A and B are shown apart, each in its own frame.
Chain A
């Protein structure tokens, strides 16, 4: 039972759905044409067919004055009232436009602020430090570089003989060092001899004093007289050997000066000192004079005394000789040491010198440094000149800026004080381009004054093919305008917009009745006709920013009937004859072109065609 009820309800729902569906369908069908007519625009079409088009080569231009005086506006001002209208005859000085007073002075204040800033900048520029420069630093650098270069050149010369100088100095050094060693020994021997002789002399004096009884003999070790026997000596008394032989200098005298003093110059130019040819082979030992022991002193005092005195005299003579030798050896030793010192100094100095390559590099570096210093000096001079020129230019710029700003300030101040614009000359008022409340601009035209005695001209644009039969001086027919006497061609120039296919024909216009600028004049050059492939009604052609175009109706047939969609086709208008135009473009052969539409069309829109089937005609 429940199942039966459910099925019954289900069937009821289906029946309701069926009824609703049919009702909706019926309503839609009833309003279908209405909806379609409201949404799909109705268009009238004509076929683009081949046809003959008769046309006139005419052009229209506007009369312009040749001596028109244009009056421009004042920036930022607002028009209060325009007292005249176009073509009013006005006198010079007549007020044409009155202006509202200016409340906003910010522009003037800005200009004045700019002017003050420019004046301050000018003052600062004039007070700027002088750009005169002596280039001391750069010049000193150049001189230093020159000195370095000279030094480098000297070094390179010294470096050439460096090795030779070192060798010579070393030879001298070695020779003098050996000589110095020998001389040192000799000096020591000589010194010992002197000391020994002195001891003997003192011993002899002591013996003598004993003999004289003025002193007690107290033997002093090492101090003995020849006549005194040495208490420790057990050797027999010498056999009266001459003193000279005993104290004779066993050291042979060198043949020459073994140590010639070295010259101060360590350079090899000085010949090396020749070493002593004779080597001191014998040690200079002082052979003491055989002393006479005190016990052996003869008792004969006078004889002893004489002998001692003689001995003393001999010893003193030997002492003098020994001292002379010591002085000579010392002098030679000193000379040899000086030569060693000089040679050592020469080696040190020579070794301190750079090598040839280093000297060469130093020379190149010095030359480069000199070039750089010279360049720096040159650049410094150039920069100084530029800076000076800049400073001068900035001063001039500031002066010009001040001059300009001053003019602007004055002009602005005058404009702000101005409350009306007057006619600059007598004539007709024309091109009044402002009205009450308009904001004026500096470049915007407020009005023009056309003098009464002005001449007028008109410019017509003709195709190049038409202009071929025209020439300056030729007259256009002015029969359509009774108030015009003549329209004479004054010049023919290419049209800047289309120089290849179009010409601007300028004509002078004269009239006895007075012309007004802005009048439109149409002139006819000639009449002709031609056959074109696609001629359509002039209303079919539209124009927008992309150019001229027509809408072509595309038909598609289907089971639901024919559908019509418009497609935009860009065309070129070849000729026009008022009601008809000759066009060219793609896909225009026997195409249905929309000539009239009840709504604005867009590319791809679906349209309905006007049905002429019911028309009897």
Chain B
């Protein structure tokens, strides 16, 4: 009898140890998730520990209302803690974006887990009180409780999160928790009432957790998209870049190699400012050239002018232009501009194309990615602009997206100064695009027969640009930079400026 009793006691004490470990793990998972998703880790951890301990107190308080079937209750609570604690991170990850009251759910989970763990210790002491001397009981229960806590807090940051991830950790400990319940069902089947029902509940919970554990990476991948605040609705890796389209409420965003290309909410500001000044100043707009701009949004703006007879768009990436010719969400944005009969799309290297091209254009819209590497830097070089000049008609207008004059003033004025070496009239202007920040352009005229303040034509229905160019070419002191070198292929100074300026922000 004595031996058997010893086993009974140790089994329950081992259960205490596991409960304590798991309980603390759930608390740490909640704290980590909260600081990960909501930020401010000091606040999150502090609140969660507080709520957890408080709810344990509440649980302890309510334990006195349990009088019957204590052992059954204990095992059931064990299953429940495993299930709720184990699934907590999955639920929190998935709900993060779609539920406004995320914090409420988070603290509800912490509270419930804390409450259940709080119930268990007094319950256990009640079960054992008649079998063990009180002094031993208290000392043993709390010893195991605190050892479990230490083990959890050491394992969590050093082993569990690096190896299993947050979601994997909580599911794994959920399974441990439930397997203790299963073990108790088998070992104490004589002491338990309806042990088979209890066993079935426990095994079902275990399987559920196991399934989630196996698929935890997929769940994470799915929820990661939400984590960035947006649903990823399309991804495609072309030989040149990774295209990611996301959707959130009414806003669509396109990322190229993880850089935001446009947000549907405010791209009209960027594209109206890119296209309309040049289109209104140019002597003629019959033949328009677009370099880059495979999304067709600049072309959409260009086609607002009736005088336009021909638009040639040169973009390296066929994957990009194809997407914007065929995807119905996207053709909705560019108003199907790339399928317009006036538009010719050429997928080739713009620099090489410009060198070999014989045709001459009235307007050139140059919308390349920022000069973040030496390859892209070539498309902002003196020789490149000299090449462009050879394919422009006299008095043609050319506009170049010139990165942000606020974040990268040296880069901005470097491009501007380089263009100045080539064209007789050069100016710069900027607009505020909320999703980008302050953004700028360099504009040039290939002759003297028109000026920056000339408005030769207007398009109807613009939301942003009002054809008053002189409202946009004033720069405050924080957007000015002097002592800038010209960007040439043999110095690529722009890439250095750009790296220096944007590098600071990262």
Q: Do A and B truly interact?
A: no
User: Which residues from chain A sit less than 8 Å from chain B, CB to CB?
Assistant: none
- Interface residues, chain B, with chain A CB atoms under 8 Å away: none
